[in-house]
């Protein structure tokens, strides 16, 4: 299968890429950092000789770059799975965060997924198959202090996911919202949070892969993940 994953050089994106690489799928990956992305490609191919990995370093918070990456993906045929994982977190409160924070969060967390999905959907609709995953957040379903514009963008992404799910039913395309709480990635390094208190990236990757392997008539619409002891 052709599996497109954005933000794939680290954290959740990399863990999900590893899961599909282990199963021998064809991966088309993007991330902003070229060196990190090439390291990820090397790592995946060294561990999994039966997979194929294509990479493109680009910042898909910029619409023109999304267009370039979308065209790159279609060079390898119709995508079977699209995982809109690109995201960023800027803490703050709506009433006092820096001007431009909302626009930045929307560009990264919402518009990247919106534009890439629209570029790839025609071929998926033509094939009458496929699965789209959008990396939402518990901030998509629960307001919390210091969430600010990040929360706004993630609520919007969940709304996009729900609407897309309804639109794509007649085309046999599945759409799933991933709604994770705290996951131990690089963003937690340097903090006093212990890894065993929160989830691991592999936990999310395992569930994504499992949901994508169900029968054609089954669709997991939402997956809500939380640490065993609850949110921080």
- Assess whether 150 carries a catalytic annotation: yes
Choice among 20, 150, 184, 209 that is catalytic: 150
232 within some domain: no
230 within some domain: no
99 within some domain: yes
CA neighbor of 120 nearest in space, from 175, 159, 80, 160 = 80
Per-residue model confidence as pLDDT tens digits over 11-62: 999 999 999 999 999 999 999 999 999 999 999 999 999 999 999 999 999 9
Sign of CA pseudo-dihedral 163, 84, 70, 129: negative
| Residue ranges making up the domain that contains 56 | 2-225
Per-residue model confidence as pLDDT tens digits over 128-139: 999 999 999 999
231 within some domain: no
The pTM (predicted TM-score) of the whole model is: 0.97
Domain count for the chain: 1
CATH of the domain at 73: 3.40.50.720
């Amino acid at each position: 299968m052709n599996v497109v994953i954005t933000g794939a050089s680290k954290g959740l994106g990399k863990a999900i890429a590893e899961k599909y690489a282990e199963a021998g799928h064809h991966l088309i990956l993007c991330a902003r950092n070229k060196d990190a992305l090439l390291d990820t490609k090397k790592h995946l191919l060294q561990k999994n000789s039966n997979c194929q990995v294509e990479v493109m370093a680009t910042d898909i918070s910029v619409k023109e770059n999304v267009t370039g990456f979308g065209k790159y993906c279609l060079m390898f045929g119709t995508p079977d799975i699209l995982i809109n994982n690109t995201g960023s977190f800027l803490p703050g409160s709506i009433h006092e965060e820096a001007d431009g924070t909302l626009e930045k969060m929307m560009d990264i967390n919402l518009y990247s997924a919106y534009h890439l999905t629209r570029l790839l959907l025609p071929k998926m609709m033509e094939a009458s198959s496929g699965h789209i995953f959008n990396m939402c957040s518990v901030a998509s379903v629960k307001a919390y202090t210091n969430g600010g514009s990040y929360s706004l963008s993630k609520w919007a992404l969940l709304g996009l996911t729900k609407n897309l799910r309804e639109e794509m039913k007649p085309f046999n395309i599945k759409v799933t919202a991933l709604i994770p709480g705290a996951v131990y990635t690089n963003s937690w390094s340097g903090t006093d949070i212990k890894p065993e208190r929160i989830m691991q990236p592999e936990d999310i990757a395992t569930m994504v892969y499992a949901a994508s392997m169900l029968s054609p008539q089954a669709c997991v619409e939402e997956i809500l993940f939380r640490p065993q002891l609850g949110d921080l």
